[in-house]
Amino acid sequence: MQIDKDLRSVQEVRDLVHRAREAQRVLERMSQEELDKITAAISRAAAAEAGRLAALAVEETGFGIRADKEVKNRFAATTLYEAIKDQRTHGILAQDREKKTIDIGVPVGVVAGLVPSTNPTSTVIYKSMICMKAGNPIVFSPHPSALKCITETVKVVERAAREAGAPEGAIACIPTPTMEATSALMKHDHTRLILATGGGAMVKAAYSSGTPAIGVGAGNGPAYIHKSADVSLAVKHILDSKTFDNGTICASEQSIVVTRAQEEAVTRELQRQGAYLLSDEEHKQLSKFILRPNGTMNPAIVGKSVETVAELAGLTQVPAGARVLVARETGVGPGYPYSNEKLGLILAFYVEPDEEAVLRRCVEILEWEGAGHTFSIHCEEEDVVKRFAQAVPASRVLVNTPSALGGIGATTCLFPALTLGCGAVGGSSSSNNIGPLDLINIKRVAWGVRELEDIRGGSAAGGGASQVDDALLRALVDQIVRRLT
């Protein structure tokens, strides 16, 4: 008798979560040193296999560039490890002897890890490491179009973790990916947290599941080239960023915004560095190819070369070797597909009359799609940077750096991460670059330091009203605020 695929996948989830729950009981009793040993083993194993796993990802999905995916794998395996290796996540984190308080880190429990097809292997490495560092088991829900490379990556990190002392079931992957399986994983009674990286519909489903979730919204970051910028370097940063892994990192630039005074210099530099500016006719032709009829991104443009996109869209005049397709755009929202997120080698180009109009346009783009994610600015005037940073609805404001690599912490000192929170404005529970400290709960132990009579401060004259010393009141307020934050 053949079992229905959906039913089989749901049963697989139940079995995996049961084993993960058993593994959790072991992990939560481990010391910080034991968890660190497991994390270090994953780092070494993933770094050693970075190239092979990158090749598998490109071969299976058709997205991106092998060499760049290898860089992302090594970034997750080594750069992330260097950032977290000395973090305390488990047991006593801090003790204030004067105020008589202790903070104790405890794992959140079983984590559901949703993995996209654009960054499949690096996401598995990254999420496995931050979960093990925090003492949490993780069950991965793989994107069906990247099942083989995700499964192989899980095998690599799971074997390394187990040989370093992790229990069976601490890292696992659903073998039969279906929507029903992912839903069952997210809604399971023993799933304590969802790390959702993927399409908008999947992230929305994670937040609707009833389980606490950390999700990533769409990245649709505009890049402003200010009059003070080194135009050549700014364009280099933008093109380096956009072409890295063929534009599959969600923090990569999606549009360039300049004032009219900068238009000629930026246009000239774009062309000099290999960008191809579309004609009006080519603009219309490609615009029909960017989105699907339902308004979502056409997967045919994702992570593909310029040559492939041009051929699929019927653009015959694009020269060989063109690095990026650039389209002049004048609007944002429905009817303006270039204003959407484009995880491929396509950039919108906005020219505005002045800087105030540039700021309004950048806010409009982010509010349309990408709120809370990333904004980049190329500028040598700190006051301008601060003004834009305060005004734009973005959790990451990147200055004079490739946005794709700056956003994940590769070319900046932001925490190295492949899950970038978008904050409340983007519908996310966190605005952080997500790390192990986002995957623990903190118990707070507090000794009593005053009696009720101390709080009342004694009876006051006239009507028996109580008075509280100002200094004591401030101390109480400070203590309450610290406990709530």
Q: What is the CATH number of the domain that holds 285?
A: 3.40.309.10
Q: Given the residues 149, 173, 250, 362, select the one marked as catalytic.
A: 250
Residue 394, strand partner residues: 372
Pair of tokens at residue 334: 């429905």
Pair of tokens at residue 177: 């990916």
Residue 290 and residue 212 share a domain: no
Q: Is 274 left (phi over 0), alpha (psi -120 to 50) or beta?
A: left
Pair of tokens at residue 458: 């004694």
Q: Has residue 331 been placed in a domain? A: yes
Which pLDDT belongs to residue 27? 98
Q: If DSSP states are collapsed to H, E and C, what string results for the chain?
A: CCCCHHHHHHHHHHHHHHHHHHHHHHHCCCCHHHHHHHHHHHHHHHHHCHHHHHHHHHHHHCCCCHHHHHHHHHHHHHHHHHHHCCCCCCEEEEEECCCCEEEEEEECCEEEEEECCCCHHHHHHHHHHHHHHHCCCEEEEECHHHHHHHHHHHHHHHHHHHHCCCCCCCEEECCCCCHHHHHHHHHCCCEEEEEECCCHHHHHHHHCCCCCEEECCCCCCEEEECCCCCHHHHHHHHHHHHHHHHHCCCCCCCEEEEEHHHHHHHHHHHHHCCEEECCHHHHHHHHHHHECCCCCECHHHCCCCHHHHHHHHCCCCCCCCCCEEEEECCCCECCEHHHCCCCCCEEEEEEECCHHHHHHHHHHHHHHCCCEEEEEEECCCHHHHHHHHHHCCEEEEEECCCHHHHHCCCCCCCCCCCCECCCHHHCCCCCCECCHHHHEEEEEEECCCCCHHHHHCCECCCCCCECCCHHHHHHHHHHHHHHHC
AA letter at 123? T
**Contact between 325 and 342 (Cβ < 8 Å):** no
Burial of 3 (0-12, 13-18, 19+ CB in 10 A): exposed
Cα 301–59–241 angle (5° rounding)? 50
Q: Has residue 259 been placed in a domain? A: yes
**Contact between 350 and 258 (Cβ < 8 Å):** yes
Residue 336 and residue 205 share a domain: no
Scanning the structure block, which residue is given the tokens 């402003």? 224
AA letter at 175? P
Q: Report the alpha-carbon distance of residue 249 to residue 243 in Å, rounded.
A: 10
Which CATH number belongs to the domain containing residue 40 in this structure?
3.40.605.10
Q: Report the alpha-carbon distance of residue 203 to residue 195 in Å, rounded.
A: 9
Scanning the structure block, which residue is given the tokens 């605020």? 481
Which pLDDT belongs to residue 467? 46
Residue 265 and residue 203 share a domain: no
Residue 377 and residue 466 share a domain: no
Pair of tokens at residue 467: 């008075």
**Contact between 79 and 43 (Cβ < 8 Å):** no
The residues of the chain scoring below 70 in pLDDT are 1-2, 458-485
Q: Has residue 421 been placed in a domain? A: no
Which pLDDT belongs to residue 114? 96
Residues 271-314: tens digit of each pLDDT = 999 999 999 999 999 999 999 888 889 999 999 999 999 999 99
Residue 256 and residue 159 share a domain: no
Residue 169 and residue 35 share a domain: yes
Residue 409 and residue 297 share a domain: yes
pTM given for the model? 0.91
Pair of tokens at residue 346: 């396509």
Residue 248 and residue 184 share a domain: no
AA letter at 24? Q
Q: Has residue 86 been placed in a domain? A: yes
Residue 147 and residue 71 share a domain: yes
Q: Report the alpha-carbon distance of residue 30 to residue 135 in Å, rounded.
A: 8
Which pLDDT belongs to residue 459? 47
Domain with 464 in it: 453-484
Q: Has residue 445 been placed in a domain? A: no
Q: Has residue 428 been placed in a domain? A: no
Is 379 a known active-site residue? no
Residue 363 and residue 314 share a domain: yes
Residue 121 and residue 37 share a domain: yes
Q: Has residue 231 been placed in a domain? A: yes
**Contact between 123 and 115 (Cβ < 8 Å):** yes
**Contact between 121 and 204 (Cβ < 8 Å):** no
Q: Has residue 423 been placed in a domain? A: no
Residue 269 and residue 377 share a domain: yes
Q: Report the alpha-carbon distance of residue 380 to residue 355 in Å, rounded.
A: 15
The total of structural domains in the chain comes to: 3
